[in-house]
Amino acid sequence: MTDSEKPGLAIMTSGGDSAGMNPAVKCAADYAAQRGYAPFLIYDGLKGLVADRIFPATAERLSGIIHKGGTVLRSSRSPEFFDIEVRKKAYENLKARGIGKLIVIGGDGSFRALNQFYSDFQIPFAGIPATIDNDIAGTDYCLGVDTALNVIRQSIDSIRDTASSFSRAFVVEVMGRHCGYLALTSALTCGAEICLIPEIEYDLPSIGARVSAEIAEGRGYIIAVVAEGTKMAEYVTRYINDSIGMEARLTVLGHVQRGGSPTVYDRMMAYQFANAAVDALEAGETNSIMVYRDGSYGRIPIAEVAHRKYKMDPALLRLAVPLAC
């Protein structure tokens, strides 16, 4: 296929937003144009694909987005996309513009939706993993994680100032769904005394005895990082206050973790993932997910993502065990 015969290539973001999506959009569109494709942008995720919110990736639409957090293409949840008639409408929208390839920047749910779309209409897609939860099987890294970790780090550093000033304990709940990666990494790099995540068994009486001994030796405050997936943040706050005897406060960081200008690391990862996605489609691959494993970039079939559960690095988990007992 010559450049003039290449189909249009559309780029979309789907699922939860994360810093790094905008750099990935820009890099994918720019590289696709370099490779001879006509790049398009799909706004509002799967809903936009169905509602025909599809526009050429002009310089005006791509200019000034690389430093922005979230996604300028916006996102949505679209359970109706699993209706075949709805997907048929999306296909007709693409066909009308000569679009024959898709890049989706999002999580495993978005990848599964596009895989079904491929099964129905043979529109190949490439997936770029983007979620601050870092819980997509097959890749060690997802776009947005480094930015989220830096937001958490800055928040905990600020909280520590108040904790030390008033000799208090602060419990910080961080996001991650059922994955404790953000909580674990933040606890280790911020010097927390306590860390609770779903992947590790914790022993509150043992934690209480350890921290109480440290207080007796002069510790003036406590920082505890708790993953939202444990549903233990409020309980830990009460436990520290009532059983350990130190005044405790709970801070739920919430969606602030998804925002912020992408870090240099996330911007570079976006560049690598975006180029790899275009290359995968040009090579004739139909449903590949871009991955970063053991320091190398690669791609794997959607089946390896859809049918596997993400597991955190055992070596990383071992580092957190002392904070959970």
Catalytic residues: 133
Q: CB–CB of 156/193 below 8 Å?
A: no
Q: What angle do CA 180, 223, 227 make, to 5 degrees?
A: 20
Q: What is the largest CA-CA distance in the chain?
A: 75
Place of tokens 């129905």: 120
- C-alpha dihedral, 204 to 151 to 258 to 43, nearest 10°: -170
Residue 19 half-sphere exposure toward CB, CA atoms < 13 A: 25
How far is CA 155 from each of CA 161, 180, 193, 324, rounded to the nearest angstrom?
A: 10, 18, 16, 21
b/e per residue 130-168 (b: at least 16 CB within 10 A)? bbbbbbbbbbbbbbbbbbbbbbbeebbeebbeebeeeeb
d(CA 204, CA 202): 6
Which of the 8 DSSP states describes residue 261?
Answer: P
